[in-house]
Structure 1
Amino acid sequence: MATAATAGAEPRLQRRIGLGLLMMYGLGSMLGAGIYGLVGEAARLMGSAIWLAFLVSMVAALLTGLSYATIASRYPRAGGACYVTQRAYRSPLLGYLVGLAVACSGLTSIATQANVVARNLQAAFGWQGVPVALLAAGFLLLLAGILLRGIRESLWLNAVCTVVEAFGLVLVIAVGIPYWGSASLLEWPDGPAGGTEAAGTTLLVFQGAVLTFFSFIGFEDTLNLSEEVKNPERTMPAGLILAMVTATVIYMAICVTAVSVVPWRDLAAAPAPLAEVVRRAAPWFPPLGFIGITIFAVANTALVNYVMASRLLYGMARQGLLPEAFGRVHPSRHTPHVAIGALFVIVLALAMLGNIAALASATVLLLLFVFTLVNGALIVLKRRPGEPRGAFEVPVVVPALGMLVCLALIVVRTTSGGATAPMIAGGLLLAILVLYAATARGRQAEIDRFAAGDVPS
């Protein structure tokens, strides 16, 4: 058993993050690169009523977001979703499943964004002679170096990238405001809403909400910074909710602007919808400028997921679910250097595969599965006597509704999006279960502790 002196000498993560950096981290994780292309897909489905889809999806996402805010206030730990799942269900298996499912979503996102950054660098600087794989590897190496340097450095870079990508969205809004009111905001693909049956319109809105819901995914990443945030019981909920509300305001304004400047049929056909909005409303803005903004947005998505995944592996190691080495912290930089290095190797290998779009799509289903389990875990913990209460609490109906919404999204996504993504998601879950079974012997003591209800603090 470790002595107090030994435990005190062990390097740990340090609380260096305030509300401002945390909010920017959450906002950057949601804005990302998705909104730059998602508007066109939503217009194809919803016509000019895309703002309605974003409004409904915001409500759906906020239910789970409020659950995460409560969890962050109660249990401010790295690997938070994995921890509360394990604590609530007293099952190392479910904690392991949730942790690696979230990790898979982060790894595929980082690899995908590395290739997107590489292709944009080729276009921006005329580097067609430089292989995409080499540019992607250089980008990943740069990210790993920043993460190894420290959490404040990582989050300051995130703040800069978030400001740049938010500038791109604010630019779209600013140049488009004079066009507001020039187009109907309730023009549907099959005619005006008044000419459709209410049930059909409701179904269309729900399908649009399923599509746009994924523009809010990313709020859950903030939970993994809990051990590095000052006064996390209050700062974590405030940062998460502020980020979600800010993202919603920006998204709604983008929707109104986009369909006001560009007819929704043209918007749906445009390969770069927001770039088309700027081209029409502000022809003076250089096209290269929007490529630069896109690079910052995509790089930020990769950075946020890299930070999240490294802290997740650290938290899982601390819970005994992964090898102890992943829980080691650098003595001077106070970063989980082993986890960062291991992730670099895995992501580099994934990036070399090139197009992993099908895998990335499947991990969205995994995240919905995780949200369902985490909402259920909060219900269990709220009803269990003796569990700590946080500075921020929501009534039990919030996680209950969040769980139902996520289940409904899984059903819609599975039945209307083709069989490839569900099959890959199922295969990933099966692979995680096999990996757990293959390595369970070394964690038998931990499994026995959880079976007895002895959850580590």
Structure 2
Amino acid sequence: MATGESEIRGDAEGGDLGLTGAISMALGGMIGGGIYAVLGVVVKVTGALAWLSFVLAGLVALCAGYSYIKLNQLSQPEGASPTYLEWFADSSTLAGMAGWTLLFGYVGSMAMYAYAFGSYAVDMLPMEQVFGLPLRALLSLAIIGVFVGLNLVGVEESGWVEIVLVVLKIAVLVGFVAFGLWFAFANGGETATGGGVELGLGGLGFEPIMAAAMSFVAFQGWQLLMYSQGTIKDHSDTNPTAIYISIPTAVAIYIGVAIVTTSIVGVALVSQRPEVALATAASEFGGSMGHFVIALSALFSTASAINATLFTSAQFSDRLIENELLPQQLDPKSPDEFEEGDHLPKRIIVLLGLLTAAFTVVGSLEGITSFASLTFIVVFGAMSYLALGQRDHEDVSAIPPAVGLVGTVAFLPMMLWHLWSAQRGVFYTVAAITVVAVVVELAYFEIDSLGGKTDDETSVRSD
């Protein structure tokens, strides 16, 4: 079973992965690389209130998780985001556009992880260029190439290994928080804030909401569970429990990491080097060894996050092709091959790798993070809206979907306003990519409709 492996299907009995494995998959998807990549970006926007931004983003993500769970329970057969749109909105065009939007989000996520990997690797090396070329970009490309190659040949990772690795990653971050808090209280005069911890409550404004929107990509990893139902034992009961445990756990870790980093290092220094914020903080109380441990953990975590997301994206793309929501040319195969659970869509893997490489080379960390967060805000908001429409069902509460919808509706303009006012170049880049993506999606599905296919004829199948 590969890290984060997933198939968009809803087998009645499910696989062998239990609650512990499901929680590990969800947590691994969230803290595997997200905190190393987004922390500095969030601190640059909202300073010492970074912890509050993670609370807000986590709350909206938890409500979106509730919406996914309820939609999954009500849809027949159980499925994922495109399935829900097909089932509840009765539109294969919307289903296809949601699927494409998620794919763009996953590409952005992988580019963010690759960018962070390259940044932490350069931070550990005595050079920044090789033959006049930026070493960060070269290392980012290299790690993408490694995992594209491994996925092409089918190298896999067992479920128990994933559990152990997630435990180790959590242990490193919890240790970072524990030692950091001890240092802040025991050596207050030596910290950037001059003593204790800094929560930033004296400067509340709209910035935490803006930063929450930009950090939203760090909370999308639990979606792996919705796309992995065929591998999870009793997924109808296991997935909700795993989601409700993993998201608050990730939020708690993010809060601790944010408070320790801004208290010990200070907002100014984090803003100068946002891509390696954790390693910089660790060096303050752990010296060179602390810096090395965090940097090594960052390399490993971001690398494994690339692998998990690439595998998931490829399987997700394959299912979209099966349901005629992506061109069949991306993964030509016989009808019998659609039933094979171990099929590896090689063309898709290569295409996703190339798109990720392009993003991570030409994009900035803020731009990549913002674009990826934007896609998940849109999709999570759509799922919250659909779940809110099902509030008449006895077991569907209107409150979580409403909170999720209001949160995503608030996040979107706040993030765009911040980019427009503070990072105009990033705004134009994100806007251009978004417009191109939407135009391509509409063109593809409108041409498909003009060719004689209707929404009724193009149905999303999740068998």
Give the structure 2 partner of residue 280 of structure 1.
284
Counterpart for residue 303 of structure 1: 307
* One-letter amino acid of the structure 1 residue matched with residue 415 of structure 2: R
Task: Measure how far apart 1:124 and its partner are.
Answer: 5.7
Residue 402 of structure 1 is matched in structure 2 by 404
Tell me the C-alpha RMSD between the 2 structures: 3.7
Structure-2 separation of matches of 1:326 and 1:223:
26
Asked if 1:377 corresponds to 2:386, the answer is: yes
Q: Which residue of 2 aligns with 1:334?
A: 341
Instruction: Give the C-alpha shift of residue 251 in structure 1.
Output: 1.4
Whether the aligned pair in 2 keeps the contact of 1:102 and 1:366 (CA below 8 Å) is yes
Change (3 A) 1:33 1:335: same
Asked if 1:345 is matched to 2:354, the reply is no
Q: Which moved more, 1:342-351 or 1:106-115?
A: 106-115
Of the structure 1 ranges 21-30 and 288-297, higher mean CA displacement relative to structure 2 is found in 288-297
Specify whether residues 120 and 382 from structure 1 end up closer, same or farther in structure 2 by C-alpha distance, changes over 3 A only: same
Give the conservation status (yes or no) of the 8 Å contact 1:73–1:232. no
- Residues of 2 paired with 1:206 and 1:142: CA distance? 39
**Match of 1:345, as an amino acid?**
V
Q: 5 Å matches for 1:95-174?
A: 95-114=95-114, 117=117, 132=139, 135-136=142-143, 138-145=145-152, 148-149=154-155, 153=157, 155-156=159-160, 158-174=162-178
Letter matched to residue 301 of structure 1: A
**Does the C-alpha gap of structure 1 residues 205 and 367 become closer, same or farther in structure 2, counting only changes over 3 Å?**
closer
Change (3 A) 1:436 1:154: farther
Determine the structure 1 residue equivalent to 2:240.
237
Change (3 A) 1:443 1:287: farther
Tell whether the 8 Å contact from 1:180 to 1:256 is kept in structure 2 after alignment: no
SS of the equivalent of 2:220 reads coil
In the other structure, the counterpart of 1:412 is: 414
Structure 2: how far apart are the matches of 1:107 and 1:45?
24
The letter of the residue matching 1:250 is I
Deviations 1:298-343 (A, max 9, x none): 11221221232133224334444345657978699832322xx122
Range with bigger deviation, 243-252 or 422-431? 422-431
Matches within 5 A, 1:191-210: 193=202, 201-210=204-213
Contact in 1 for aligned 2:143/2:303 (Cα 8 Å): no
Once the two structures are overlaid, the 10-residue window that deviates more, 36-45 or 251-260, is 36-45
State the Cα distance separating 1:94 from its structure 2 match.
0.4
One-letter amino acid of the structure 1 residue matched with residue 376 of structure 2: L
CA–CA distance in structure 2, aligned partners of residues 322 and 336 of structure 1:
17
Contact 2:108–2:371 (Cα < 8 Å) also in 1: no
Q: For residues 81 and 430 of structure 1, do their structure 2 counterparts lie closer, same or farther at Cα, with a shift above 3 Å needed?
A: same
Indicate yes or no: 2:300 matched with 1:292.
Answer: no
Q: Specify the alignment match of 1:8 in structure 2.
A: none
Question: 1:369 corresponds to which letter in structure 2?
Answer: V
Residues 297 and 20 of structure 1, relative CA distance in 2, 3 Å threshold: same
Deviation at 1:432, TM superposition (A): 0.9
Give yes or no for contact 1:46–1:205 (8 Å, CA) kept in 2.
yes
Q: Using the aligned pairs only, state the percent identity.
A: 17
Question: Aligned letter for 2:315?
Answer: R
**Bigger shift: residues 115-124 or 244-253:** 115-124
* Unaligned segments of structure 2, at least 5 residues: 1-10, 189-194, 421-426
Label 1:56 to 1:349 Cα distance change in 2 as closer, same or farther (>3 A): closer
